[in-house]
Structure 1
Amino acid sequence: MKFNRLLLSSLVAIALSACGTAEIDKTDIVTSQAQSEQNVHPVWPKLDIVVKSDPAVEAKVAEILQGMTLEQKVAQMIQPEIRDVTVAEMRQYGFGSYLNGGGSYPNGNKQSTAADWIDLAEQMYQASIDDSLDGSTIPTMWGTDAVHGHNNVIGATLFPHNIGLGAANDPDLIERIAEVTATEVLVTGIDWIFAPTVATVRNDRWGRTYEGYSEHPDIVRDYSAAIVKGLQGQGESFMGDGKVISNVKHFVGDGGTTDGIDQGNTIVDDETLFNIHSQGYVGGLSAGSQVVMASFNRWNGQKIHGNKYLLTDVLKDTMGFDGFVVGDWNGHGQVAGCSNESCPQSINAGLDMFMAPTQSWKPLFKNTVQQIQDGVIPMSRVDDAVTRILRVKVRAGLFEKPSPAERSLSGKTELLGAAEHRAVAREAVRKSLVLLKNQNNLLPLSPTQNILVAGDGADNIGKQSGGWTITWQGTNNVNSDFPGGSSVWDGIASQVTAAGGTATLSVDGSFSEKPDVAVVVFGEEPYAEGVGDIATLEYSPGNKKDLALLNSFKDQGIPVVALFITGRPLWVNPELNASDAFVAIWLPGSEGAGVADVILRDANEAVQYDFHGKLSFSWPKDPNQIVNKGDDDYDPLFPYGFGLTYQDTDTLGDDLSEVIASKKQDKPLVFFERSTQAPWALTLVSAFNTVAVNANSMAIGDVQYRTEDRVVQEDAFQIKTLGGSWAGIRFKGNGQAQDFNASMAQNSQLSMLVNVKEAPTADVLVGLNCGTVDGCKSVINIREQLTKMSKNTWNTLSIDAKCWSDKGISYAALNEGLNIISAGQMTVSFSAIGFVQPEATSAITCP
């Protein structure tokens, strides 16, 4: 077994950043800049941007800039994250902005209230304008990823993810969604939304496919303009009450990487980069978006965060963008010759603001000041960057607006998840649904029937909402985390009961009375960037429980309606064959009841709403097919724009090919790679207490947990044990024994990357457990190996698999996963934990 292609890209990133701590050669930087200065390809246009230069704004910006010290300027150019910056540090430095990452909350509390968010915003704002330490009164601003509603906040309205909205193809709806999102964000005192995402996705294996509206640039362009208008306003409404700063992202080409690898390489010419991947910027920047976020990916081998041609020559000088460019999560650290702590190359290339989460912002601030003093970064470039940042703040009225707690919408919690907002989201759900199959006009269903609702997605608002939902990856959420929301089951049950029919929820499909029809709600588990990358488009390879459920109804002669939760088109030929009707419901968000509005008739047997959605992505006919509208050999299963209505006759049939032209691979045993891997769930353990990890900072008893960045965002985690009891982590199973290849016991090793911050003071036990099987558990002590490791460096620790199998562990019956616990004190970080084929002798071997 090998780790997937993400690990390869991570290793490449390590190699590129390895020299980041070396002394910077100014000559190399100047030479690199000179090489990037080339004539801009004529395909790039001068945009007609609605927000024009204003002499009064420019004069105010120049006046502020003239009175700033070097340190104050650099502070405007650095954006720390709320986990790693304090109010006192904001007062000391006066940062231009700060952010909360996905799964990061005030006080580290997932259940933080609107008042908690406002309180932090107010404290940060007051600290930023307090000149007692830094001499600056420039207001800071808070940026957040509100990408399908205010998705970090409990109780907010959550809209369908972008892929569903693309199927709706309704720019007016999109503008209204943006207006609602801006309102709910302002309720919590935040100024700036990292949206819209305007990637034109060309490979659906990419784990961020659902963040794209379409594979076709036209929808992306029109939606980008609509969202920016809804968020920021235009004309007299520009940046007025109810409006926030918008941010088109990620510039540029993130949806076109080779093999759909997140943060990978987009190999295209200027014409393709503009015509396919840049139309979202044509729409959004023309509509006046004030911020552009640089992309993690490369363009023809060069990281965008260090690409002067694109960031400066194209975006600013040619297209005429006069706002500022912000980096993505330590993206500057991936530029060749850079690290998270030092990257003059990015600033010189045209990055205006470092996004610098983790404690890396501290050396980054110091190094950047020194590099300016040494002439490595020209003062003219610094003044340009700060001018752009100040220009956006002045345009946004931040110097005149009251503090966050005193703004017009702040604290109006009745607007958070308001009924009128949820009505817009429910409309979006209805319009996003795409009907792919409807044999014998099974849909719409009569609500007077006996309807069985099955599948693990039926009553699961977290699953139907997907990634970027409360937590970064969207995992470990339960229905109670969505007060005011509704599952698909909620909508069906409510309408069927009101009409006099019978609705029964049975996740596993069991029943006592044969139903008239079965509605099965199933699909992808939540994921976000990186973690969602897949090797092929086959749905759920190696686990066909959903298919078995569909077939069980078919074998009993029960008509089946399949409601497919998904963040991308997937090869589901077997599932299509097993269903009489099949609907792509995408990731509908918090208003799952909207699904029932379309698939059910009303109590008088009349159609409530017909299907409106049409595919904005082509649907593959083979698990290895990457297909996009306009391809020379365009041959999808369902073409771009396909979508049945109740007036259409379905001719699909039940005989789609189910042959997969690929070799079956052994099931890999991986516990953690960028995130916890299915079927495992990460939990904290202290004495006899456990708690599921559902945030990026948590603690229970004698163990503290937080995510950290090794190469990319949150691809590692740190555990700190306090020594009062046996404490640590457990990769908990899903209650079912996991059957892995029996040869693992002889031919593999457990490998993990380890970074010792504080060596253990007692034994550290790594254990496997078969749960209820007697004798099927064993532990290995790794204290000696951890103690010998150099501190604050990443090392590989490997253990022969047979060390456990020789003590009774059966790799065909694992259901408790891996445990790492200690009764002593230690602070250790872990990454990339899983069984691999040996590449070297294990650190721990067993005879």
Structure 2
Amino acid sequence: MDSQKGALLGFSALLLAACNTAAPANLDSAETQQPAPEAQAALEGEVELWPAVESNLIDPDIEARIDELMARMTIEQKVGQVIQADNGSVTPEEVKEYRLGSVLSGGNSGPNGKQYGTADEWVAAVDAYYMASVDPEGVEVAIPILWGIDAVHGHNNVIGGTLFPHNIGLGAMRDPELMGEIARVTAAELRVTGHDWTFAPTVAVPRDSRWGRSYEGFGEDPEIVSAYSPRIVEGLQGVFGSDDFLSDEHVISTAKHFLGDGGTDGGKDQGDAILPEADLVRLHAAGYPPAIEAGALSVMASFSSWNGSKIHGDHYLLTDVLKGRMGFNGFVVGDWNAHGQLEGCTTEDCPAALLAGLDMYMAPDSWKGLYKNTLAEVKSGEIPMARLDDAVRRILRAKFYYKVFDQARPSERPLSGRTEILGSPEHRAVARQAVRESLVLLKNEGSVLPIKPDAKILVAGNGADNISKQAGGWTLTWQGGGMSNDLFPNADSILDGLQGAAANVTYNADGSYTAKPDVAIIVFGEEPYAEFRGDVDHLAYDIDGTKERNLLQKLKADGIPVVTVFLSGRPMWVNPELNASDAFVAAWWPGSEGAGIADLLIADAEGQPRYDFTGKLSFSWPRAADQQPLNVGDAVYDPLFAYGYGLSYAAPGAVPSDLDETVSADLVSARANSVFFENGSFVSDWAAELTGDVTQSRVDHNAQEDALLFTFGGAGGSVAFKDGTARDFLRETNGDMELTLMLKSSTAGKVEIGMQCEADDCAGYDTLPAEVANANEWTEVRLSLSCLTAMDMKAVTSPFSLKVEGAGTVAVTDVHFSEDEDAQETCLSE
């Protein structure tokens, strides 16, 4: 199969070359030059593996309107239509000048330079860009923009929006009708802020839970995806062919990411799905035919590759399969600068993506250079006018269905600015139902659950009163997390829900108590993340036993029944936590309605369940920390909890309390790629190499001798953490990771922090501000890896290095890589 695909790709390139000189103006219906019979047979043999879908978007009246409009457009306008810029990198004036077809808001791109905004702020921003796009100055006809945004679990970029469980939890519901309601609510709330288009639904089928986007998938088996996909499209857009289709309460949807993003080798984001074509079809294409049949107007191409071929440049998949065999007549939009990853391309110059079948470049900050180069390539004939016209036609088709020429400005549309719709009681009720249906009961020994409402309940854990954490990634910011509950006015924390359902609730995050409780509910789990920052090497939640394990074991030893509510974006190895818990609930990331958890945990006045657990695992739960990939149907399938598992009050079951808690030494050593010194110890084989007039000892930070103290003589010196190997940290650098540590410095001389690489003259440093170097106080230091411009990040021999001029002391602890907290480059010398 692999060699056949390579031959097909080569043939597709030849076909494109032939189209350069004699391509028809409308590629939707026109015939193209036919290949040699042998090549045609191979092509048809491959394409026939894919499901055939009947197109339903071609409407003669709309096509006639497109013909009339395109006849009045300049080449410059057509090029503008195929380019989408991020609102953080383009002004309304530039939208008018370049006649761009679309604006998007990335995960950290809110109105007025903020990461998120209020409804009023959003409406004002959308209005300004829209009005610029329809300004008729200098053109025969002005074309309104479409504004796209990642509303992936509700309208998650506006303060006060309803936040639903992430898709992993929604998959556990097995409820397509409720999915349609969730999509309907999301569309209505998007209309409140003036948005036109959401980059949803994600119809990936994650096959390796180490992937940082696993929680964006509904399940590891395509059955759930194929059932949900059309209901979501209809909820967002309305039912195709009805009067409600793309009415004032609906928005344009996007099925994503085409194709195979959930099947990459090792679960690496933006990686390579290495598998035969038949498996690509069987496992990863299931969500697209029903979405197309439901009238989806856009499909987003994946960052990832299939057998080494980047999807953004794969003519066979984008054109022959998606637009040909699957009959998709909407438009294909790119992902964030993903076209720049194609061989021979940059983010500002990539004709190959358009030639392959991409219709709209997502060029958030590269749009201006891309516009100029694409325009030049169209004028030179490198990009045939027929291909440009086809892309523009597809975009205009969506715009006509959305009635962009018939709608008022965003601020004057029926739902615009109606803030009472955001987080309304009706919408929150839908979300709360989704929470109830998404929870999966993994363990309930001794019928600890449900808890009587008059019981003395201790609530603990850092997830109990933390709406930002329970909502997960893609919540107000791209990565989510770290935000005050005040930013979620239409939400309940899990603690709020428990306090509302039970009369005697005591909350102490650390689990301390004075009067012994009848039961303890501990809420903890993964910190929020998005995309590649969520990629992990293994599924152990707490590989070192330094998190909640001791608290669970202490409470259990005190004779207190323990209920664990586990927050996560994937199934994880939590055997120690399961052993120490009497009941264990997989709550995923439930969103804004924390009270939905109390609905199942707390009994009614008679001690009976108010609701029963109905959620069933849509991902297999691992028996070991390194048991990946793990999927139902595998030849060897031995999970701890199988796909479809889920206990209930009506159907209880027993779980052993002596699950294996050992972790392989290989997994422990793997942490050395991101954690170097923690809790008073070097991780793996890291050690401090001292050069010059410097000695090493220990000092206290949070515990006895848990920090390293370096004492420098008058000649100064340097320290470098090394383990004898060189590592490639380019991906961490591109992912905006930061070198983070706690530091206490007392020196009058210059202090530099940085890294070293394999070559003798290769190192990168930044200078610690003098006020920190002289403070003699513990301070968190964060240094973006991107600040170290002199480094060869592909051959790093020391991920942490310290240089001091003159005498003084510097103490350090908790040295590791961490995610960027503020989406801004953090350099020390600024």
Structure 1 equivalent of residue 548 of structure 2: 546
For 1:264 and 1:486, the matched residues in 2 are separated by: 37
Alpha-carbon shift at residue 810 of structure 1 (Å): 3.5
Q: Is the 8 A contact 2:301 2:332 kept in 1?
A: yes
The CA distance in 1 between the partners of 2:812 and 2:295, in whole Å, is 57
CA apart distance, 1:815 = 11
- What's the offset of the Cα at 1:518? 0.5
Aligned with 1:665: secondary structure?
helix
C-alpha distance in structure 2 between counterparts of 1:542 and 1:558, whole Å: 24
Paired position in structure 1 for 2:711: none
Measure the CA separation in 2 of the matches of 1:452 and 1:494: 14
Q: Which of these residues, 221, 225, 241, is aligned with residue 248 of structure 2?
A: 241
Aligned residue for 1:646, secondary structure, equals coil
CA deviation after TM superposition for structure 1 residue 94, in Å? 1.7
Query: Given the alignment of the two structures, is residue 379 of structure 1 paired with residue 376 of structure 2, yes or no?
Result: no
Aligned-partner Cα distance in 1 for 2:817–2:535: 26
Query: Given the superposition, is the C-alpha separation of residues 796 and 116 from structure 1 closer, same or farther in structure 2, using an over 3 Å criterion?
Result: farther
Aligned partner letter, 2:669 = Q
Local SS of the residue matching 2:532: coil
Contact 2:571 2:619 in 1 (8 A): yes
Residue 48 of structure 2 corresponds to 42
Greater shift in the superposed pair: 279-288 or 161-170: 279-288
1:713–1:43 distance in 2 versus 1, CA, 3 Å: farther
In the other structure, the counterpart of 1:688 is none
Structure 2 runs not aligned, ≥5 long: 1-12, 21-34, 677-682, 684-729, 745-750, 759-764
Instruction: Select which of 720, 735, 738 maps to 1:715.
Output: 735
C-alpha displacement at 1:711, in angstroms?
Answer: 7.8
1:644 alignment partner in structure 2: 647
* Secondary structure of 1:545 counterpart: coil
1:665 alignment partner, one of 669, 672, 675: 669
Partner residue, 1:489: 495
CA contact (8 A) 1:94 1:134 kept: no
What's the CA shift for 1:361? 0.8
Residue in structure 1 matched with residue 599 of structure 2 by the alignment: 597
CA contact (8 A) 1:436 1:581 kept: yes
Residue 797 to residue 61, structure 1, CA distance change in 2 (3 Å) = farther
1:812 is displaced (CA, Å) by 4.2
> Cα distance, 1:289 vs. partner?
0.5
- Which residue, out of 476, 479, 496, partners 1:470? 476
Distance 1:223 1:105 in 2: 29
**Following TM superposition, where does structure 1 have runs of at least 4 consecutive aligned residues deviating by more than 6 angstroms?**
26-29, 31-37, 710-714, 766-772, 775-782, 785-790, 793-800, 813-819
Deviation at 1:766, TM superposition (A): 6.3
SS in 1 for 2:147: strand
Question: Using the alignment, how far apart are the partners of 2:368 and 2:826 within structure 1?
Answer: 23
Q: Which residue of the partner structure matches residue 356 of structure 2?
A: 349
Cα distance, 1:275 vs structure 2: 1.2
Farther off after superposition, 169-178 or 659-668 = 659-668
Aligned residues of 2:675 and 2:817 also touching (Cα < 8 A): no
Distance apart, 1:236 and its partner CA: 2.3
1:633-782 to 2 correspondences below 5 Å: 633-663=636-666, 664-665=668-669, 668=672, 715-716=735-736, 750=755, 764-765=767-768
One-letter amino acid of the structure 1 residue matched with residue 467 of structure 2: I
Cα shift at 1:110? 4.2
What is the identity percentage for the equivalent residue pairs of Structure 1 and Structure 2?
A: 48
Q: 1:213 aligns with which of 194, 218, 228?
A: 218
1:201 and 1:467 mapped to 2: Cα distance? 17
CA distance in 2, matches of 1:781, 1:416: 38
Closer, same or farther in 2 for the Cα pair 1:795/1:653, shift >3 Å? closer
**Where do 1:312-711 residues align within 5 Å?**
312-358=319-365, 360-497=366-503, 502-542=504-544, 544-625=546-627, 626-663=629-666, 664-665=668-669, 668=672
1:118 aligns with 2:123: yes
Contact 1:157 1:422 in 2 (8 A): yes
Tell me: CA distance 1:236–1:668, structure 2 relative to 1, closer, same or farther (3 Å): same
Secondary structure of the structure 2 residue equivalent to 1:283: helix
**Aligned-partner Cα distance in 1 for 2:600–2:202:** 28
Instruction: In structure 2, give the amino acid aligned to 1:539.
Output: Y
Instruction: Find the aligned partners of 2:619 and 2:799 in 1 and give their Cα distance.
Output: 45
SS of corresponding position for 2:323? helix
Distance 1:91 1:781 in 2: 38
Change (3 A) 1:752 1:232: farther
Q: Does the Cα contact within 8 Å between 1:306 and 1:332 map onto a contact in 2?
A: yes
> What one-letter code is carried by the residue in structure 1 that aligns with 2:809?
G
Q: Could you give the per-residue CA deviations for residues 698-755 of structure 1, whole angstroms, max 9, x where no partner exists?
A: xxxxxxxxxxxx98997349xxxxxxxxxxx99576x9x9xxxxxxx9xx962599xx
CA drift of 1:249 comes to: 0.3
Aligned partner of 1:18 in structure 2 is none
Say if 2:198 is the partner of 1:178: no
Report deviation, 1:397: 1.0
**Aligned partner of 2:117: which letter?**
S
Change (3 A) 1:788 1:394: closer
State the match for 1:723 in structure 2.
Answer: none
Please tell me the residue identity of whatever aligns with 2:735.
D
State the Cα deviation string for residues 313-362 of structure 1 (Å, max 9, x = none).
Answer: 0000111000000000001000111010000000000000000011x111
Q: What does 1:272-287 align with in structure 2 at a 5 Å threshold?
A: 272-287=279-294
**3-state SS in 2 of match to 1:564:** strand
Q: SS where residue 73 of structure 2 aligns?
A: coil
- Which string of whole-angstrom CA distances, capped at 9 and with x for unpartnered residues, describes residues 538-560 of structure 1? 11323532111111101111100
1:297–1:316 Cα change, 3 Å: same
TM-superposed CA distance for 1:476, in Å, is: 2.4
> Which stretch shifts more, 475-484 or 429-438?
475-484
CA distance in 1: counterparts of 2:532 and 2:782, whole angstroms? 31
In 2: Cα distance, 1:713 partner to 1:799 partner: 12
| CA–CA distance in structure 2, aligned partners of residues 123 and 777 of structure 1 | 43
Instruction: Summarize the Cα distance change of 1:86–1:133 in structure 2 as closer, same or farther, 3 Å threshold.
Output: farther
Shift of 1:803: 2.5
Structure 1 residues 387 and 671, CA gap change in structure 2 (3 angstroms): farther
Equivalent residue of 1:809, what SS? Answer: strand
What's 1:686 paired with?
A: none
Superposition map of 1:148-227 within 5 A:
148-227=153-232
Q: Deviations over 1:132-181 (max 9, x none)?
A: 14544111110010000000111100000000000001000000000000
Alpha-carbon shift at residue 633 of structure 1 (Å)? 1.0
Amino acid at match of 2:104: L
Counterpart code for 2:664: A
- Measured in 2, the distance between the counterparts of 1:813 and 1:225 equals 48
Q: From the superposition, tell whether residues 780 and 537 of structure 1 become closer, same or farther in structure 2 (CA, over 3 Å).
A: closer
Equivalent residues of 2:117, 2:157 under 8 A apart? no
Name the count of aligned residue pairs: 722
Question: Contact 1:166–1:214 at 8 Å: present in 2 too?
Answer: yes
Cα distance change, pair 142–794 in 1 and its aligned pair in 2 (3 A): farther
User: Alpha carbons of 1:67 and 1:711: their partners in 2 closer, same or farther (altered >3 Å)?
Assistant: farther
Question: Which residue in the other structure is 1:16 paired with?
Answer: none
Deviation track 1:666-701 (CA, whole Å, cap 9, x = no partner) reads 8658599xxxxxx9xxxxxxxxxxxxxxxxxxxxxx
Q: CA deviation at 1:283?
A: 1.9
**TM-score, normalised with respect to structure 2:** 0.81
Aligned-partner Cα distance in 1 for 2:798–2:442:
48
Q: Does 1:146 align with 2:151?
A: yes
Please give the alpha-carbon distance, in whole angstroms, between the structure 2 residues aligned to 1:211 and 1:493: 30
Q: Secondary structure at the match of 1:248?
A: strand
Do the aligned partners of 2:740 and 2:782 also contact (CA within 8 Å) in 1?
A: no
Change beyond 3 A, Cα 1:558–1:818: closer
Asked if structure 2 preserves the Cα contact closer than 8 Å seen for 1:306 and 1:345, the reply is yes
Distance 1:339 1:601, change over 3 A: same
Rounded to whole Å, the distance in 2 between the matches of 1:312 and 1:777 is 54
CA gap 1:140/1:714 in 2 versus in 1, 3 angstroms: farther
Alignment CA distance shift 1:647-1:797 (3 Å): closer
Question: Match for residue 708 of structure 2?
Answer: none
Q: Deviations over 1:172-225 (max 9, x none)?
A: 000000000000000000110110000001000000000000001010011111
In structure 2, how many angstroms separate the alpha carbons of the residues matched to 1:420 and 1:776? 49
Give the secondary structure class of the aligned counterpart of 2:47: coil
